[in-house]
Structure formats: C-alpha cells, structure tokens
Structure 1
Amino acid sequence: MATTTTENSNSVVFQTLGTASGKHIGVATLNIEKALNALNIEMVQALTSQLTAWRSDNNIVAVVLDGAGEKAFCAGGDVRAIYHAALATPGEVTAQATDFFKQEYQLDYLLHTFAKPVLVWGDGIVMGGGLGLMAGASHRVVTEHSRIAMPEVTIGLYPDVGGSYFLNRMPGKTGLFLGMTAYNMNGADAHYVGIGNHYLNRDDKELLFDAMATLAWADDKAFNHEMLHALIDDMQLECDTPLAPSQLETHQVLIDDLMDGELTAIVARVSALDDTLKQAQPWLAKACKVMLAGSPISLALVHQQSQLGTEMSLADVFKFELGLSVNCCAKADFAEGVRALLIDKDRNPKWLFSNVASIPSDLVSSLMISPWDESDHPLRDML
C-alpha cells in the first residue's frame, strides 16, 4: 500500500494510503503517545480541518483514525486549561470551556455525519473524548486489549461527547450503569453495547490496512460502507483470540435491577450490595467502589441524562451537552475533580456535597439550563 504524508500538526499525523482501485484512504494518527493521545484543542482543530478537506475530496473514499503506540487510541480530553480558567473565574462560564467543548462536539458531529466510511482502531485505552471520536465512526473496531470507559464521574463531569445519545441506546440500563460507575469495558463488553461494531485482534491491524488497499473502492458511498463491513466481518472469523464473554451481557439482569428507580434508591442498593456477591464478581465490586467515590452531583446528572430517552436529535444532544458541560465547569464539582485526579493527584476530592440526598433539588435542574438562547448558542448552526 503506497503511503503519502499529507500534512502534520504537532500532535496528529495525516497520511493518505493508495489502493489498487486508484482511490485513497485518509489516515489520521493521534500522536501524543506519552499523554495516551489525549485530545487537546490543537488536535481537535487539526482533525476538523483535515476531515473537512477529505470529506469533499472525491479521491478519498474512507478515513481511518488511529492512535500512536499500543497503550491507547485516546485516553480522553486534555482539560487542564479549562481547569485553570475555572479557578481564575469561579462561578462563571469561561471562554476556554466554551471554545474547547464547542470545537470538540463539532468534531464529533462531523464524524457522526461523515458520509464516507470512517474506521476507528479502538485498541488500548479509549476514554471520554476518545470515545466521542469512536462513537461517531461508522466502523468501530475493538480488540482483545481494548479498555473503554466514560470516567467523568471521577472528575465531576458527566458522560458528554454525545453520551446523552449513545448511552440511552444501549441494552436495558447498561448506559446508566456505565455512566455512574466508569466501568472499564473490554472488547466484548463494548461490542455488546454497540460501542464497537467489529472485533479484531491487535495483531490484525496491518493485515486490515493491507486488505483495505485491495478493495474495489467506488464512488458509491453506501457500497463502500457495506464492502468494508464485509471485509472486517470476514477477518473477525479468523481471529486467533476470539471475542470473550461480556460481563455486561452475562449480568444484564443484575445491572438492570441495580440501576432501577430513583437515584437515592440506586445509591442505597449499591451501597448495600452483598460482600459475597462482590467477592464473586470483582468487576462489579470495582465499578461500585468508583461510583460511590464519584461526585454526587455527577451521579445526579448521569441519572437525569438517562431520563432523556431517545427522542432528541444528535444535533440537539450536542447543543444540550455544551450548556451542561460549561455549567459543570463553572458551578459544580469539575474543578475539584480535576485537581484531585490530574493536578495534585491526591485522589481525595472534596465534593460540594457528601451524598446525593444532600444536593438541593434545584441545583441539577439549573445546571441543565443552557446559558445561551437559541439565537446566540455557539452550536446554533449545527443541524
């Protein structure tokens, strides 16, 4: 497969790969390996610019998103600048938060609405903002080394980047469970809930790229989608390490029972979970421990998020989440969560409220009210 480097930022490498059909595949590699390829604003802008160009280039028939190294596709968003801005102007919606989330969500929406096939190689860690990129792709490949999570409750946020859309489309109450517990999914779990729609082994990546070069790419986008799906499905049958059983699928009834009802009842149920059960199911014990240590405000937001259902359009979801995200940075536990986990790293956050029962009834609803009218909303042009 012929390779041409087209344009590089400091943190994303862009290449085009030639194919036997004469068409090209665009490849974007997140390239800050030491930071587990966490998204910063420069990366978001570079990806948006190149993807927009590739979308209108008739010679580009598909796009691949990959991450440098084997540890992570993308471990989330780099939120340190937002944290410092929040400290400087407590209680206020900052330009830094608005600009970062706005541009990140625009990139996610671009991927969701990209007519050409977009393949994400979701190997290693895929969290937060990385999951936003992956969820927008049409071909989402997970591997035996995938570790996928929405850990926002640990930093006083909530599962954004379209989480209000894709979490509510998962089986039963799995989406609520993932949002509240920051549970680390393996490839099988991610495949079960629909985050991944293909499974291959880590060692299959180069084989996949080589095989993509031999496909009879056409100008028909629907044909190209189906052809790529068929290729990966055929390769999945040959995996040396097959798809393992999913804990989420195996224990769907237990998860639905745990996550049923009002928030206070859910927290009480999880708090009282039998020690024998937790010993027998260490994956569940860890998930519940993370949930109970997370921000009570975040838990309340995740619970409200789960009530949104599936009626909102994708564009409306991103508009809603932009308001909620900047409000969290200004008025909720975000700054303290980032301090404890990423800045001081003492892992001892002092949340605004000690438990969900002590949260004022009007706080959560106020956080969900947009700081902008429709006419001046930063994403007003998103349709």
Structure 2
Amino acid sequence: MTDIIFSELSCKHGCKIGVIELNKPKALNALSLNMIRLMHEKLIMWASDDNIRFIIMQGAGDKAFCAGGDVVSLYHAIKSSTEAKAVLNDYEIINNPSGEFFTLEYKLDLYIHEYTKPILAWGDGYVFGGGLGLFAGATHRITTEKTIMAMPETAIGLYPDVGASWFLNQMPNNLGLFLGITGAFFNTADAKYLGLSDFSIESSKNKTLINELCQVDWTVQNDISDKLDNILRDFESNSCSVMPVSKVQENESIITSLILHNNIDSIYNTIVNASFEDKWLRTAQQKLYSASVLSILITYKQLELSKNFSIAECFEAEKNLSYRCCQYTEFSEGVRAQLVDKDKNPQWAFNKLSDINPELIQWFFTKVTNT
C-alpha cells in the first residue's frame, strides 16, 4: 500500500481537481521523508498543468488529516549516527536523514504557503505538528466537529516548528505563546478564532462536497477562489448545529492574564501554580508541567525572535534550530519516552528553567554551518 495517493478528478470542459491523500491511517497519516518528497514533486507538476484548477489535501481514514511528522524514524536516524559520538557536528547533521527531513519538510510547507493555485485542506480529526504545517498554508482550510489541533512538540523535547514561528505569532492577544508552550489541544471553533481555519463543515459531508466540486464549471481561472468560498460557505451554514464552542475564546481573559509577564520564568510559574476550575485549562497546565523546560525556553525565545519575521524567514530560522535540536539529547529522549519505548517518563536534561545555562540556549540559536 502506497503511503500517499495522487489522483485527478474530472470536471466540466476538461478542468481537473488534483487530490493528495495521505494514506497511512494506522499511523494517523504521519509524514515520512518520502511522502514529503512525492508531495512536493506532484505540487510542482500540477502548478504548471493548466487543466488542474486547484488542489484538495486530505487524510485517509476517519481519525486524522495528519498527526505530525514521522519522528520515530528521525529518532532512529539520529540514534544510529550518534551511537559512537557525543554529538553530530554541523556537517554531519545537515547531511543526516534527520537534517534532510526538516530541510525538505519546511521547503514543502513554504511552497504550500506560496502556491499559485488554491489549495483546499480537509482537516478532519487530528491535525498535529507537521500536519498543521501542511494545513496552515492552504488557501481554503476546512475543519470539522472532529478536528483536534495542537502543536505538542514541547512534550517530545522539540519546539513548535513547521511555520509555527509565523502562525502562532499571528494569533490574537499572544494566545499562540500559550498554545505553543503548553501544546494544548484546540477544536474547530478555536481554529477559526485563532486564524487557522476558514470554514467549519460537518465531517460526514466530505464526499458530498467533493462530488459537488466536480460538477462546477472551473473554466474561468480568476473566479476559482471566489467560487470555492461560496460553496464552502453554503456547506458551513448547514453544519453549525454540530460544532463545538471555542475553549480558547471562553478562557481568553484567564489565558492573557497568565502570559502577561515579559519573561518565561514568570509565565511558566504562573501557569503551573494556578488553580483552574476549567478542565481544558487544567489539561493544558498538566501538559506544560510534563514538558521539557528546555523546549519551553527555546519555544519562548524562538517566538520572541521571529515576531517581525516574514514566513520565509521563519522557516529558515526553524531549519537552523531544528538542526540544533537533533544535535542535542533532549529531542531523542522525548521521542524515546513518548513514542518508542512509550514509558511516558522522559529523563529531561533539566528539572527547572533556572537550571539552564544561558550559553546553552545561545548555542541553539547559533548558525549551523556546512563546513
């Protein structure tokens, strides 16, 4: 079974819709390096095919659009390379499969953000990490009543990447910082409020929507985006009754009070020591408490540094930072504990933020050189 399926749906007058389906439902459609390569190649080909009017991205099965990158494979690539070494040097990490993964993943994500044709992303079920990186750049982003989004990287010793330096900073009232350091889950109503979803449509309407899209005359190219908007708006208007309420918006005043401080130590201590009545806030608090404090500090610094970056600059900075994370033990240990051995007991390098040497943090943000 192939991990990714490409197809072309026929419409009127020879027009076609390109379809990308991530096809690893048992692995929640986790992105592998090969899937990233194939998707990028196909999008480049479709960009120059005049018959392809727009693209649909979706995940196979009923559980996930994409629950992130295949970090287990990255773990094994790093581990096999570092068994006889304390750390991979800059040249080795750039040319390691893990370094290649991040390079090509970010290149694909940026290409989606800059794509010349509309992309409709069907974000049903889990949309985590690398899945959100694919989803965020689409022009027509659909979430459903089953959508669960998150950037949970601090739980595995990483940081919110795949363009999160951009889209977390675009969220109102610095809510992206809270979601980035806690890895809190959020739903379709949250995603719309935060600017990560354009339409909320009932999950069961997927096939009906695609069938209707195939009946439309897409001949006039400059009308495509507006026509998609109108069709998706109609589907959304018939889906309102099944949609959840926004937990982020419901708790926004509390969240903003928690992150008022101008340093991560105060923000972290305020959140972990707070007493919450709301279950969603308590869950976010527990995620923060269990996460790597090194990752939390890196996340805070990366979001601060990238506040005025362009989307391309964000991806370039993330690529460098991800190389560094692959050179340090925290990422491998987090993946080992959460996804490989699954003992859920990562032995983090530091117990407290105050234990972390500022020089180490500075190292993470120094330029990796291929020499």
* TM-score above 0.5, yes or no: yes
Q: Which position in structure 1 is the counterpart of 2:48?
A: 56
Structure 1 gap segments, 5+ residues each: 1-8, 377-383
Q: Which position in structure 2 is the counterpart of 1:115?
A: 116
Question: Does the residue aligned with 1:168 lie in a helix, a strand or coil?
Answer: coil
2: distance between equivalents of 1:355 and 1:21?
63
Q: Which one of the candidate residues 322, 330, 334 is aligned to 2:319? A: 322
- State yes or no: 1:142 paired with 2:143: yes
Task: Please report how far the alpha carbon of residue 241 of structure 1 lies from its aligned counterpart in structure 2 after TM superposition.
Answer: 3.0
Which amino acid is 2:323 matched to?
V
Task: Please report how far the alpha carbon of residue 219 of structure 1 lies from its aligned counterpart in structure 2 after TM superposition.
Answer: 4.6
Task: Please report how far the alpha carbon of residue 197 of structure 1 lies from its aligned counterpart in structure 2 after TM superposition.
Answer: 1.0
Q: Deviations over 1:208-259 (max 9, x none)?
A: 11221122313534x2112111210121111163433211112212111112
Which amino acid is 2:164 matched to?
G
Question: Does the residue aligned with 2:244 lie in a helix, a strand or coil?
Answer: coil
- State yes or no: 1:217 paired with 2:218: yes
2: distance between equivalents of 1:295 and 1:146?
26
2: distance between equivalents of 1:335 and 1:364?
17
Which amino acid is 1:316 matched to?
E
Question: Does the residue aligned with 2:135 lie in a helix, a strand or coil?
Answer: helix
1: distance between equivalents of 2:216 and 2:188?
26
Q: Map 1:235-246 to 2 at 5 A.
A: 235-239=235-239, 241-246=241-246
Task: Please report how far the alpha carbon of residue 86 of structure 1 lies from its aligned counterpart in structure 2 after TM superposition.
Answer: 2.4
Task: Please report how far the alpha carbon of residue 45 of structure 1 lies from its aligned counterpart in structure 2 after TM superposition.
Answer: 0.9
2: distance between equivalents of 1:243 and 1:173?
25
Structure 2 gap segments, 5+ residues each: none
Q: Which position in structure 2 is the counterpart of 1:5?
A: none
Compared with structure 1, are the counterparts of its residues 332 and 367 closer, same or farther at alpha carbon in structure 2 (3 Å cutoff)? farther
Question: Does the residue aligned with 2:30 lie in a helix, a strand or coil?
Answer: coil
Q: Which one of the candidate residues 9, 14, 17 is aligned to 2:6? A: 14
2: distance between equivalents of 1:141 and 1:308?
30
Q: Which position in structure 2 is the counterpart of 1:31?
A: 23
Mapped contact 1:61–1:219 kept (Cα < 8 A):
no
1: distance between equivalents of 2:241 and 2:126?
19
Q: Report how many aligned residue pairs link the two structures.
A: 361
1: distance between equivalents of 2:166 and 2:341?
33
- State yes or no: 1:173 paired with 2:174: yes
Q: Deviations over 1:37-88 (max 9, x none)?
A: 0000111111111111111100000000110100111010002232123223
2: distance between equivalents of 1:259 and 1:303?
11
- TM-score where L is the length of structure 2: 0.94
Q: Which one of the candidate residues 85, 91, 96 is aligned to 2:87? A: 91
Which amino acid is 2:143 matched to?
V
Q: Which position in structure 2 is the counterpart of 1:259?
A: 259
Question: Does the residue aligned with 1:347 lie in a helix, a strand or coil?
Answer: coil
Task: Please report how far the alpha carbon of residue 345 of structure 1 lies from its aligned counterpart in structure 2 after TM superposition.
Answer: 0.4
Q: For structure 1, which segment, 245-254 or 69-78, has the greater mean C-alpha deviation from structure 2 after superposition?
A: 245-254
Question: Does the residue aligned with 1:169 lie in a helix, a strand or coil?
Answer: coil
1: distance between equivalents of 2:317 and 2:369?
10
Mapped contact 2:163–2:315 kept (Cα < 8 A):
yes
Question: Does the residue aligned with 1:183 lie in a helix, a strand or coil?
Answer: coil
1: distance between equivalents of 2:2 and 2:231?
33
1: distance between equivalents of 2:2 and 2:102?
21
- State yes or no: 1:82 paired with 2:78: no
Q: Which position in structure 2 is the counterpart of 1:380?
A: none
Q: For structure 1, which segment, 131-140 or 309-318, has the greater mean C-alpha deviation from structure 2 after superposition?
A: 309-318
Compared with structure 1, are the counterparts of its residues 361 and 46 closer, same or farther at alpha carbon in structure 2 (3 Å cutoff)? same
Identity between Structure 1 and Structure 2 (%) = 37
2: distance between equivalents of 1:372 and 1:211?
51
2: distance between equivalents of 1:226 and 1:303?
38
2: distance between equivalents of 1:174 and 1:233?
27
Q: Which position in structure 2 is the counterpart of 1:362?
A: 359
Which amino acid is 2:239 matched to?
C
Compared with structure 1, are the counterparts of its residues 110 and 184 closer, same or farther at alpha carbon in structure 2 (3 Å cutoff)? same
Mapped contact 1:189–1:249 kept (Cα < 8 A):
yes
Mapped contact 2:306–2:314 kept (Cα < 8 A):
no
Compared with structure 1, are the counterparts of its residues 177 and 195 closer, same or farther at alpha carbon in structure 2 (3 Å cutoff)? same
Mapped contact 1:297–1:332 kept (Cα < 8 A):
no
Q: For structure 1, which segment, 75-84 or 35-44, has the greater mean C-alpha deviation from structure 2 after superposition?
A: 75-84
Mapped contact 2:53–2:221 kept (Cα < 8 A):
no
Q: Which position in structure 2 is the counterpart of 1:128?
A: 129
1: distance between equivalents of 2:216 and 2:113?
24
Mapped contact 1:37–1:75 kept (Cα < 8 A):
yes
Task: Please report how far the alpha carbon of residue 324 of structure 1 lies from its aligned counterpart in structure 2 after TM superposition.
Answer: 0.2
Question: Does the residue aligned with 1:39 lie in a helix, a strand or coil?
Answer: coil
- TM-score where L is the length of structure 1: 0.91
Mapped contact 2:8–2:17 kept (Cα < 8 A):
yes
Q: For structure 1, which segment, 358-367 or 235-244, has the greater mean C-alpha deviation from structure 2 after superposition?
A: 235-244
Q: Deviations over 1:170-206 (max 9, x none)?
A: 0112101111111111111111111111110001111
Q: Which one of the candidate residues 282, 287, 291 is aligned to 1:294? A: 291
Task: Please report how far the alpha carbon of residue 111 of structure 1 lies from its aligned counterpart in structure 2 after TM superposition.
Answer: 0.6
Task: Please report how far the alpha carbon of residue 372 of structure 1 lies from its aligned counterpart in structure 2 after TM superposition.
Answer: 2.7
Task: Please report how far the alpha carbon of residue 305 of structure 1 lies from its aligned counterpart in structure 2 after TM superposition.
Answer: 2.2
Q: Which one of the candidate residues 30, 38, 42 is aligned to 2:34? A: 42
